[in-house]
Structure 1
Amino acid sequence: MSSRYLSIATTPSVAAAQEHYGSAQQWARIGARAHADETAQSQRLGPAETAFIGARDGFYLASVSETGWPYVQYRGGPAGFLTTVDASMLGFADFRGNRQYITTGNVSANDRVSLFLMDYAHRRRLKIYGHMRVIDAEDDSVLARKLTAPDYPARVERLVLIAVEAFDWNCPQHITPRFTLAELERWRLE
C-alpha cells in the first residue's frame, strides 16, 4: 500500500481500530516501508494501472452526500470507457441513465470520490481516491470526442474527470473468480 493511500485511509478512528484488533504495528511497518520507497511520482498512474483501467468494462464509484451518507453505484460501458487521460487524471463519458443524478449532485458539494475496479477473473482489484469534476458534454466538444467510445449507442450527457489523489492494489484474498460471457467465449476459443 502506498504511503499516500495509507495516510488518507488511516484516520484516528481507523488507527484506534487497528490498535484494538492488534494490527497497528503491522500497518506502522508497512507505512514506514511505503514511505521510504516512495518518490514524488509514486501516485502517478503507471503502465500497469493504465492497462488495468483500460481493460475494465465497469467499476464502482463512491461519493458522499451533504448529510454524510455514502453512495455507491456501478458505472459500466465498453471496455476502456474509463480512460487514463494522463498519469494523474482519469476520464469517462457519463451516459444518460435513470436521471437520479445522485453522484453528480454529491460531487458538486464534495468532490472526493473512491473508485473500486475489479478483475474478478484474475482476482485483482485497484482502489483509487480522487477528486471528481463533472462537465456538461456540450460545453467541451474536444474532451467529449476524446472520452466518447466510438460506436457505443448510449447518449453522452456529461464528461467526468477524476484527479487521482492515491491508489492501491489490493490483495486477491477472498475474491471469488467470476467471468463475463466475453471472457468465457474467448477462453473457449483458445
Structure 2
Amino acid sequence: MGRQFAKLAFTPLVKRQQELHGSRRQYQRIEESGEPGSQLGEDEREFIEARDGFYMASVSETGWPYIQFRGGPKGFLRVLDDQTLGFADLRGNRQYISVGNLQHDDRVALFLMDYVGQQRLKILGRTTILEGGDAAQELIAKLRTSEPNALPERAFVIHVEAFDWNCPQHITPRFTEEEIRDLLEPRNG
C-alpha cells in the first residue's frame, strides 16, 4: 500500500477502527514511510492492460454508492501515462447512472481482479468525461477497440490519485472460457 492511498482511505473513523482492532501501528508506518503509490509502474500497466473488465464505483447526488461492471476485450482500459487511464464508453442500457453521478462528484474507485492469479488492484481517481467535439472524437478513436458492433458515446479519462495492491486472501480462482481453452490446449514442445 502506498502513502497516498492510505492518506485518502484512512479517515479518522477508519483509524479509530484500526486502533480498536490492533492494526493502526502497522498502517501508520506505511503512511509515514511507504512508497508514494500514486504513479503507475510497469507491473500496474501490465496488470491493467491484461484485464477484460473492472468494477467502477461512483457516488450519487443523494450519497448512494453505485458500482458498475465495465467489460470489453483485454486492454480496453488503457494506461495513457503513469497517472492516467482511459476507455471508450460504449452505448449500453442507456441509464447513464455513472455519467450522471460523475457530473456531481468526479471521484471513482476502480477494482480490477485477476481471479486466476488471485490478485486485485484498487485505484482511486478523478474522472473527466469527453463527449462531442473534435477532442472527444479524437480520443474516442484512440481508445476504440476492434469490437465490431461497439458504439462509443464518450471517452472516460481517469486521473489516478492512488492505488493499492490488495492481498490475495479469499480470492476464489475463476476462469474465463479463453483461459480454460488455453489450459486444455495441447502444448507443442
TM norm structure 1? 0.93
The amino acid across from 1:169 in the alignment is W
- Give, in angstroms, the shift of residue 30 of structure 1: 2.9
Counterpart check, 1:166 vs 2:162: yes
Match in the other structure for 1:187: 183
Counterpart check, 1:110 vs 2:105: yes
Counterpart check, 1:12 vs 2:12: yes
Report the 3-state secondary structure (helix = DSSP H, G, I; strand = E; otherwise coil) of the residue aligned with 1:179: coil
- Give, in angstroms, the shift of residue 104 of structure 1: 0.3
Mapped partners of 1:158, 1:30: distance in 2: 38
Counterpart check, 1:61 vs 2:53: no
Match in the other structure for 1:50: 45
Equivalences, count: 185
Task: Assess if the C-alpha contact under 8 Å between 2:131 and 2:137 holds in 1.
Answer: no
Q: Which runs of 4+ in 1 moved over 3 A?
A: none
Report the 3-state secondary structure (helix = DSSP H, G, I; strand = E; otherwise coil) of the residue aligned with 1:67: coil
Match in the other structure for 1:85: 80
Mapped partners of 2:157, 2:148: distance in 1: 20
Which of 152, 156, 160 is equivalent to 2:152?
Answer: 156
Counterpart check, 1:124 vs 2:109: no
Task: Assess if the C-alpha contact under 8 Å between 1:137 and 1:159 holds in 2.
Answer: no
The amino acid across from 1:27 in the alignment is Y
Task: Assess if the C-alpha contact under 8 Å between 1:5 and 1:167 holds in 2.
Answer: yes
* Percent of residue pairs identical: 52
- Give, in angstroms, the shift of residue 71 of structure 1: 0.4
Report the 3-state secondary structure (helix = DSSP H, G, I; strand = E; otherwise coil) of the residue aligned with 1:150: coil
Mapped partners of 1:116, 1:96: distance in 2: 21
- Give, in angstroms, the shift of residue 141 of structure 1: 2.2
The amino acid across from 2:156 in the alignment is V
Mapped partners of 2:107, 2:137: distance in 1: 25
**Structure 1: runs of 5 or more not aligned:** none
Closer/same/farther in 2, CA of residues 154 and 178 from structure 1, 3 Å limit: same
- Give, in angstroms, the shift of residue 137 of structure 1: 5.3
- The Cα RMSD (Å) is 1.3
TM norm structure 2? 0.93
Mapped partners of 2:147, 2:66: distance in 1: 30
Closer/same/farther in 2, CA of residues 152 and 81 from structure 1, 3 Å limit: farther
Match in the other structure for 2:129: 134
Task: Assess if the C-alpha contact under 8 Å between 1:124 and 1:172 holds in 2.
Answer: yes
